Chains A and B, each alone.
Chain A
Amino acid sequence: MKLAIVLVLLVIGSVLFHFLSPWWFTPLASNWDTIDTTIDVTFWITGAVFIAVNLFMAYAVYRYRHNPKRRAHYEPENKKLEWWLTIITTVGVVAMLAPGLVVWADFVKVPEDADQVEVLGEQWQWSYRFPGEDGKLGAVDARWIGPDNPFGMAPDDPAGADDVLVRSNELHLPLDRPVKLLLRSRDVLHDFAVPQFRVKMDLVPGHVSYVWFTPTRTGKFDVLCMELCGIAHYAMRGYVVVDSNEDFQSWLGEQPTWSEIQGIPPGDAVAGQGQYATCAACHGAQGEGNEALNAPALAGLPDWYIARQLAHYRSGIRGAHPEDTYGQQMAPMANMLPDEQSVRNVTAYLDSLPAAAPASTLPGNPKAGASHYTTCGACHGAQAQGNYALQAPRLAGQQDWYLKRQLDNFRQGIRGSDQRDNYGHQMVLMARALQDEQSVNDLLAYLNTL
């Protein structure tokens, strides 16, 4: 009796939960309304079967509960009933499968006029490549990949010269144009998923897969990696911005082509030494940092990292948060560098300075900190030496009070919460794994031993 009532209540509760809960698919932003229809068909058919089977069972449990005066009915089989049930089930299955296969046929066949865009996945970031004016993507190969050639562009393929390379996690697409995304991975499996578009597909190294859709509404949508790709899988995020064609074209025009990127001159350390004079007032002549002035060590930091941070200060990605006191001091300083070339010069000079070995200023247990560092080491390296491929700066040799402040800032979203700050956003997610001050001190004590 109790069981029968509970079964009925579970059925009613499930139905109520469905209608009352606020959780359902996010509003569609692509042409794939047919996928939503297929889901609806399946939902109602399976929902009806769920209700029918369980209510019937609840009734049976109640109606045929044990009664010592009665015996169960003896009926080994009932061919007719079994045939009918087979036929009805088959009809239901066909009713769900048929629309599914019809929609799948659309999914498999890409419209001929679809634009092609390449999505490149790597641990733990997204990049994009457009074919440029010739409409053809240049050849690529994993063996060409290096610090100056993250896409692995083949040096001898002229079709690649005008390819537009977007080394950022933000992809812009024009509204109402079908697009075929060619999916490629540099290292492990990833999956390009935008919930609002409904479709997703894995990126497989050594192979180019694809997915197509037509964006039907403007806006900014999250890209999530949905195939486990290592420790920072959950921090592999990006954005698709759907623009009017006009806005899209102007965005595309601002992105560099492969030949433009190759033409950028390297920094000049001698010129950079002069420009560093202003910085030295706080950061020290040898870039060793100064706790009294809240200035971190710069010597030992890789040039690409300093360049990125300077760019962030200059564009208000960093140092604009009202609670970021010291960042706000730095922002106007960064703006004193007149152009990109002077940034490259300063960083080239800093690159030539020997790394400092600062004293520790925090109480912490390095042994306890070692286990916390496992996750950090995935990007920053086992010896905290940093890794260009992951855009993870060197941590060894940095002043511990500075790292602690940055971890705090990341955790509270004072740093890294600007949507343009891809790597900062990853650090926001990562820093939240460590909540306790003692854990942070232990971690930094461990870093001081490296």
Chain B
Amino acid sequence: MQHVAIADQPDELHDPDTFITKYIWSQDHKVIAIQYGLTAIFVGLVALVLSGLMRLQLGFPDTFDFIDPNAYLQFVTMHGMIMVIYLLTALLLGGFGNYLIPLMIGARDMVFPYMNMLSYWTYLLSVIVLLASFFVPGGPTGAGWTLYPPQAILQGTPGYDWGIILMLASLAIFIVAFTMGGLNYVTTVLQARTRGMTLMRMPLTIWGIFTATVLGLLAFPALLVSAIMMMLDKVIGTSFFMPALVSLGENLDYTGGSPVLFQHLFWFFGHPEVYIVALPAFGMVSDVLATHARKNIFGYRMMVWAIVAIGGLSFIVWAHHMYVSGMHPAFGFFFATTTLIIAVPTALKVYNWVLTLWQGNIHLTVPMLFAIGFIFTFTHGGLTGLFLGNVTIDLPLSDTYFVVAHFHMVMGVSPIMVLFAAIYHWYPLMTGRMFNETLGKLHFWFTFLGTYAIYLPMHYLGFLGVPRRYFAMGSTDFIPESAVSLNASITVSALIVGVSQLFFLYNVFWSMRHGKKAEPNPWHATSLEWQTPDVPPHHGNWGPELPTVYRWAYDYSVPGAPEDYIPQNHPVSAEEGTAGEEEAHA
């Protein structure tokens, strides 16, 4: 018998009928996606509040007694880790990966639905363990999101006892959850595509999510082993990362370990992690741009190969995070070269997005605003990466606010712009309702302009040489007074951006019940997820028969066609046979 996700299903599906099987222990990829999404957005809000607290201290030092150096470092650490792992990774792959993969490739569900359900509940456990660290003696770890030993597990660092143990445990649990989800996504893409859905007909969203998941499956094990090794160093006194040292005057028993080894393992995971976040965003933004510009994505095949090339290269650039780590400096030649090579396929993607707009018929809908905003922020963040990747320039800029500004532009603001674009774009499909356009536009303008007001000036603090992870600047001979008022203005912008997310939250929850009923395919999109018999799609997605795919995902404005889009499951008619299909696959 064929697998349920791959087979036509002339009999009724065994639909879940109780509340618990439908919404709690659900094995339906769409419900699991929403569970992942809501949990991720919830922890993301926690991390957003933490960033507000950090900014209060930086913008208005010597003002708030409840933010001391100890608490400040805890805010920094938890903000970073939550945003990168528990929000971005979880929402992009667990959320959008789950929702879109089966629908976009024409499958009924993931190929391992039960494991998919376990993946979510394991993820939820990792979140609970993580948040529990706020309530243990000593509070959460304040070692910085990179958790560098030896300080992460030694006295003198906030949460060096309970906090770091819970953090490491939570990461290990998260990786188990990710592995269960990730194996599902990869297998589903490879095995459960419907008739006619060749790899080179898949929407770029699927290419991005698929490649990112492969990266995750190869990269997360490096984090898992380093978490386990550090846990052993902490709990039973092994010395994987711990050399002989004297901590706060006390000679400890560690001997012979290497702190730099941890950094290699961490960044062997950590750099691909950047692309685990970026590639799904690249994919989704491509589809949003094409749909709302009513034009095929420019250079589809180049885009696919760029995703794959970036994914591959991302495994040989990790030590560009370590130019000043004390590793042998000769490594700098190799890693600077590979890092700057990765700029080429990345730049091509930017060109192709802009060229997709060129000669398009651009509808400036809310998702489109966010998508175009992404091109701007990503171009900015990508270009500053050329500073830091070039080993020589990294010397003065490493560990300054330039780094903070760079990675927030490139892997904070940019993927979040895409996430908003994607949420607005697929909202009608997920809820069957339209969101409020005015609130959506307000949300866009506050977020887009506000984040640029935060991060453009922040690069200049970095040029000045202001170090990151400092509770307060104190007095130095090179930081002028004006930098203090600059910090205050950054804080004000950050608070405005933070509060303006209420537009988004209100819109999402209000429109769920009160929004206008959505048409089945409101954006007139070509890809399969919009061609389901019901909107939102029911359990099993397709009714008795799976769709058949006849064309690529970008037949927008095909000359001679009656509409300005032709869905993927629309058979190729005799007269257009040469126009669309041939050209796309020539």
- Give A residues with C-beta under 8 Å from B: 3, 6-7, 10, 14, 17, 21-26, 32, 34-35, 38-39, 42-43, 45-46, 49-50, 53-54, 56-57, 60-61, 64-67, 70-78, 81-82, 85-86, 89-90, 93, 96-97, 99-101, 103-105, 107-108, 122-123, 141-143, 145-147, 152, 183, 185-189, 191, 193, 195-196, 198-207, 209, 220-222, 224-235, 237, 372, 374-375, 378-379, 387-390, 425, 428-430, 432-436, 439
Contacts and interface: CB of A to CB of B under 8 A. Distances in A.
A188 B65 CA distance: 28
B557 A76 contact: no
Given A97-B340, A142-B246, A237-B474, A71 B294 contact: yes
17 contacts: A25-B465, A35-B392, A35-B395, A67-B361, A71-B564, A73-B359, A82-B299, A96-B386, A97-B340, A100-B390, A100-B393, A101-B392, A103-B392, A123-B156, A145-B246, A152-B246, A189-B148
B23 interface: no
Contacts, number: 379
Contact of A66 (B259, B326, B362, B452): B362
Interface stretch (B13-21, B368-376, B415-423, B503-511): B368-376
A201 B457 CA distance: 26
B206 to A, nearest CB: 18
Contacts of A57: 354, 357, 372, 375-376
Contact of A89 (B63, B144, B344): B344
A207 B337 contact: no
A142 B242 CA distance: 12
B486 interface: yes
Contacts of B564: 71-72
Interface stretch (B430-438, B476-484, B520-528): B476-484
Given A73-B557, A201-B324, A433-B471, 6 more contacts: A17-B456, A23-B486, A25-B464, A66-B362, A100-B336, A433-B472
B467 interface: yes
Given A72-B361, A73-B557, A432-B472, A96 B390 contact: yes
Contacts of B395: 32, 35, 107, 198-200
B251 A434 contact: no
Given A187-B150, A220-B477, A389 B375 contact: no
Nearest to A382: B155
Nearest to B290: A72
Contacts of A6: 449
B142 interface: yes
B390 A54 contact: no
Interface stretch (B29-37, B108-116, B396-404, B567-575): B396-404
Contact of B248 (A93, A201, A374, A387): A387
Contact of A25 (B61, B68, B396, B474): B396
Contacts of A23: 457, 460-461, 463-464, 480, 482-483, 486
A189 B472 contact: no
Contacts of A378: 70, 155-156
B467 A193 contact: yes
B330 A108 contact: yes
Given A35-B393, A39-B393, A53-B350, A101 B336 contact: yes
Interface string B144-174: 1000101100111110000000000000000
B351 to A, nearest CB: 5
Interface stretch (B88-96, B213-221, B269-277, B377-385): B377-385
Given A64-B361, A77-B302, A234-B474, A433 B65 contact: yes
A191 B469 contact: no
A93 B243 contact: no
Contacts of B256: 206
B301 A77 contact: yes
Contacts of A70: 361
Contacts of B61: 432
A61 B362 contact: yes
Contact of B151 (A66, A206, A229, A434): A229
A204 B457 CA distance: 32
Q: Name which of B333, B390, B482 has the most chain A CB atoms within 10 A of its CB.
A: B390
Contacts of B457: 17, 21, 23
Given A42-B386, A188-B151, A429-B472, A389 B248 contact: yes
B77 to A, nearest CB: 9
A120 B580 CA distance: 68
Contact of A50 (B157, B352, B380): B380
Nearest to B473: A234
Nearest to A11: B376
Interface string B540-563: 000000000000001011110000
A237 B67 CA distance: 22
B69 to A, nearest CB: 5
Contacts of A104: 329, 332-333, 336, 391-392
Nearest to A204: B326
B578 interface: no
Given A89-B348, A101-B337, A435-B65, A71 B246 contact: no
A142 B244 CA distance: 6
Contact of A101 (B333, B476, B478, B482): B333
A425 B474 CA distance: 9
Given A57-B375, A231-B158, A435-B62, A205 B245 contact: yes
A435 B68 CA distance: 11
Given A21-B457, A75-B296, A433 B68 contact: yes
Given A82-B302, A198-B396, A64 B245 contact: no
A406 to B, nearest CB: 17
Contacts of B361: 64, 66-67, 70-72
A434 B65 contact: yes
Given A64-B359, A187-B248, A374-B70, A234 B471 contact: yes
Given A50-B379, A389-B248, A96 B340 contact: yes
A142 B243 contact: yes
B69 A187 contact: no
Nearest to B375: A57
Contact of B396 (A50, A122, A200, A439): A200
Interface in B33-62: 61-62
A146 to B, nearest CB: 8
B396 A35 contact: yes
A100 B323 CA distance: 13
A387 B247 CA distance: 11
B351 A206 contact: no
B68 A86 contact: no
Given A23-B460, A66-B362, A75-B359, A207 B294 contact: no
Nearest first, the 3 closest Cβ-Cβ pairs linking A and B are: A206-B243, A389-B249, A195-B465
Contacts of B250: 389
B344 A90 contact: yes
Interface string B249-282: 1110000111110000000000000000000000
Interface in B312-355: 324-326, 329-330, 332-333, 336-337, 340-341, 343-344, 347-348, 350-352, 354-355
A23 B484 CA distance: 12
Nearest to B293: A72
B455 to A, nearest CB: 11
A237 B375 CA distance: 40
A290 B297 CA distance: 82
Contacts of B449: 6
Contacts of B380: 50
A206 B68 CA distance: 31
Contacts of B443: none
Nearest to A142: B244
Given A142-B243, A224-B467, A93 B344 contact: yes
A39 B379 CA distance: 18
Contact of A54 (B248, B376, B473, B482): B376
A183 B329 CA distance: 14
B515 interface: no
A70 B360 CA distance: 9
A75 B483 contact: no
